[in-house]
Chain A
Amino acid sequence: MSEIVNVDVKLATNKFHVDEGHQHIILKDNPDMNEYRKLINACPAGLYKLDEDGSVRFDSAGCLECGTCKFLCGDTILEKWEYPRGTFGIEYRYG
């Protein structure tokens, strides 16, 4: 039954105004892997990734601003969590 989900295809249907050069969420250096794993599971946009060599890769472009990572791992592994500046970020056309 399980088909591996491709979140990027879904995100591509959304409208985003990316604030180039401004990451509104910043990960701490060398994050605790147990905490990071929670975010791999929970982030609806699949933005918390692991590279082949096991290193972490995160980019806040594509963020749905849902707040999940903030509530799960707040100050444990996030250096900063804020909403994108006004007008930027996800723009739901339907919601």
Chain B
Amino acid sequence: MSEESFDAIIVGAGLAGCVAAYVLAKAGADVLVIERGNYAGSKNMTGGRLYAHSLESIIPGFAKEAPLERKVTKEKVTFLTDDTGVTLDYHNGREQTSVEESYTLLRGDFDQWLMAKAEEVGAQFITGIRVDEILTQDGKVIGVKADGDELLSKSVILAEGVNPVLAEQLGMVKPKVKADVMAVGVKELIELPQEVIQDRFNLNNDEGCAWLFAGSPANGLMGGGFIYTNKTSVSLGLVCGLHDIGTSSKTVPQMLEDFKNHSMIKPLIEGGKLLEYSAHVVPEAGIHMVPQLVGDGVLITGDAAGFCLNIGYTVRGMDLAIASGEAAAKAVLTARENNDFSAEGLSSYQSLLEDSFIMKDLKLYKNLPEFMGNPRIFNQYPKMVADIMQSMFTVDGSASQPLRKTIMKHCKEVGYMNLIKDGIKGVTSI
């Protein structure tokens, strides 16, 4: 057993882990990060949009040096059926402050950069090692076991992502997180020349587009599609809730294939070359799945703690992972000052989270997962909107109807009561 004892060992060099390491090392703490992949980011994927605010407050001006793809200035939301699409298109030409900005990125580059930032201020990283076990003594976490070696530490920060094998071992996360609060995300990275991307998505130089699709991409199940533009590629994928997957008429890979071949999407990626195919689970239950966050000598951050928000038009987990990594690091620094790494000594983590946007946003959207579970949102409404549009734009020589009547007719198909109920529920859950 190694005699040296770190102030903190961090499991996982994702965003939560790298940021925690950065904040700790910068304050002079002795910190080691252990990552099972061959480099930070080698096991990680995301849809691709980072809201800058949380990292901006930790590394001001980071966007000037980090490997980011494009700054998002165009937002699109499309209601998609198998053969139609109705789009809301928003172009933001206004000045934004650095905390309001958001960027598309690829994790392979970005995580390595973040890890290098943490190393610059003195954090130690080991890659290519899987942590197999958390060591405890009298119920207190005292280190980790990896590759047969035991490493001692005054605290352990679990930043292991959405599948928290180690937090489960400790009993902090219930091992059977139910499938009905999880979704699976799949993505293709498709290479296209820069000018082609800019033409097809109507973008100036460094501008980027974030485009979400509700409706048919997930075969009528809870979920939706996305396209994010990068410099010379687009990230195209979908997220699909797992609760009804058993009865789906399509497999998840088939959903992605059909989405790609949709008559609205196909021209956007025509001629593109597949660079990579990736997948990851997304935690969806919001505040309802947040586990025990602190134990004696241990803290849980990021996706492992369920800090992820699926608010329909966007999945947000990266800014939460970053902010929770910072909060965990600060709690360890407080514990270090008081030389008390017990659950009590680390409890400032909980209050830092309560005071931050993380818990406030998770609480604000607490009814959203249930609302999103409503199948009407993913199949009937996109069809209703498409039918209204079709009636509006079709002139075939038959006598025209007043627009009001046309709209009412299509609303009736969904049912007025359903519309009212869902409308009220929707408004109260966002």
Identify the A interface with B (CB < 8 A).
1-5, 7, 10-11, 13-14, 17, 34, 37-38, 40-46, 64-68, 70-72, 74-75, 82-87, 89-95
Smallest distance from the beta carbon of A69 to chain B beta carbons, Å? 10
Q: Which residues of A are found within 8 Å of B278, using beta-carbon distances?
A: 14, 64, 90, 92, 94-95
Contact of A86 with B275 in the complex, beta carbons under 8 Å? no
Q: Give B251-287 interface residues, CB cut-off 8 Å to A.
A: 251-254, 256-258, 261-263, 274-281
B252 touches A93 (CB 8 A): no
In the assembled complex, which residues on chain A have CB atoms less than 8 Å from the CB atom of B179? 71-72
Partner of B37, one of A37, A82, A91: A91
Does B111 sit at the interface, judged by CB under 8 A? yes
**Cα distance A66–B146 in the bound complex, in angstroms:** 22
Decide yes or no whether B198 CB sits under 8 A from chain A. no
Known A-B contacts A13-B275, A87-B128, A95-B41; A46 and B251 likewise in contact (beta carbons under 8 Å) = yes
How many Å from the CB of A68 to the closest CB on chain B?
5
Which B residues are CB-close (under 8 A) to A86? 36, 128-130, 146-147
**25 A–B contacts, CB within 8 A, in A order:** A1-B258, A2-B257, A4-B257, A5-B251, A5-B254, A7-B253, A10-B188, A10-B253, A41-B251, A42-B242, A42-B251, A44-B252, A44-B279, A64-B278, A66-B279, A70-B163, A71-B179, A72-B245, A84-B130, A86-B129, A89-B43, A92-B42, A95-B41, A95-B45, A95-B111
Chain A residues, CB < 8 A from B233: 94
Identify the closest chain A residue to B164 (Cβ): A67
A37 to chain B, nearest CB (A): 6
Known A13-B276, A42-B184, A86-B129: A68·B242 in contact at CB below 8 Å: yes
Chain A contacts of B189 at CB under 8 A? 94
A15 to B133, CA, bound (A): 27
CB distance B165 to A41 under 8 Å?
Answer: no
Measured CA separation A90–B39 after assembly (Å): 12
Q: B41, B165, B177, B186: which contacts A92 (Cβ < 8 A)?
A: B41
Judge whether B176 is part of the interface by a CB distance below 8 angstroms.
yes
List the B side residues contacting A74 at CB < 8 Å: 175-176
- Given A74-B176, A87-B38, A45 and B245 contact (CB-CB distance below 8 Å): no
CA of A4 to CA of B178, assembled, Å: 30
Q: Given A38-B246, A71-B179, A44 and B184 touching (CB < 8 A)?
A: yes
Which B residues are in CB contact (< 8 Å) with A82?
165
Contacting A94 at CB < 8 Å: which of B37, B254, B276? B276
Contact assessment for A93 and B258 in the assembled complex, using a CB-CB cutoff below 8 Å: no
Within 8 A of A (CB), among B127-145: 128-130
Known: A1-B82, A3-B261. A10 touches B277 (CB 8 A): yes
Q: Is B71 on the interface with A (CB-CB < 8 A)?
A: no
CA distance A38 to B178 in the complex (A): 14
- A4 to B157: give the CA distance in the assembly, Å: 44
Q: A5-B256, A10-B277, A91-B42 are in contact. Are A72 and B242 (CB under 8 A)?
A: yes
Q: Residue B308 at the A interface, CB < 8 A?
A: no
Q: A1-B262, A13-B277 known; A92 and B107 CB under 8 Å?
A: yes
Taking CB atoms and an 8 Å cut-off, the chain B residues in 168-211 that contact chain A are: 175-179, 182, 184-186, 188-189
Bound-state CA distance A37–B278 (Å) is 22
The reply to whether B162 and A67 contact each other, CB–CB distance below 8 Å, is yes
Tell me whether B44 is interfacial, beta carbon within 8 Å.
Answer: yes
B248 / chain A contacts, CB cutoff of 8 Å: 41
Residues of B within 8 A of A10 (CB): 188, 253, 274, 277
Q: How far is the CB of A64 from chain B (nearest CB, A)?
A: 4
**In the complex, A95 Cα to B45 Cα: how many Å?**
4
Contacting A at CB under 8 A, from B280-307, are 280-281
Q: How far is the CB of B82 from chain A (nearest CB, A)?
A: 7
Closest partner residue, chain B, to A91 (CB atom) = B42
Least CB distance, B35 to chain A, in whole angstroms:
9
What residues on B are CB-neighbors of A40 within 8 Å?
A: 251
Top 7 A-B residue pairs of the complex, sorted by shortest distance between their CB atoms? A95-B107, A44-B279, A67-B163, A5-B257, A10-B277, A66-B279, A87-B128
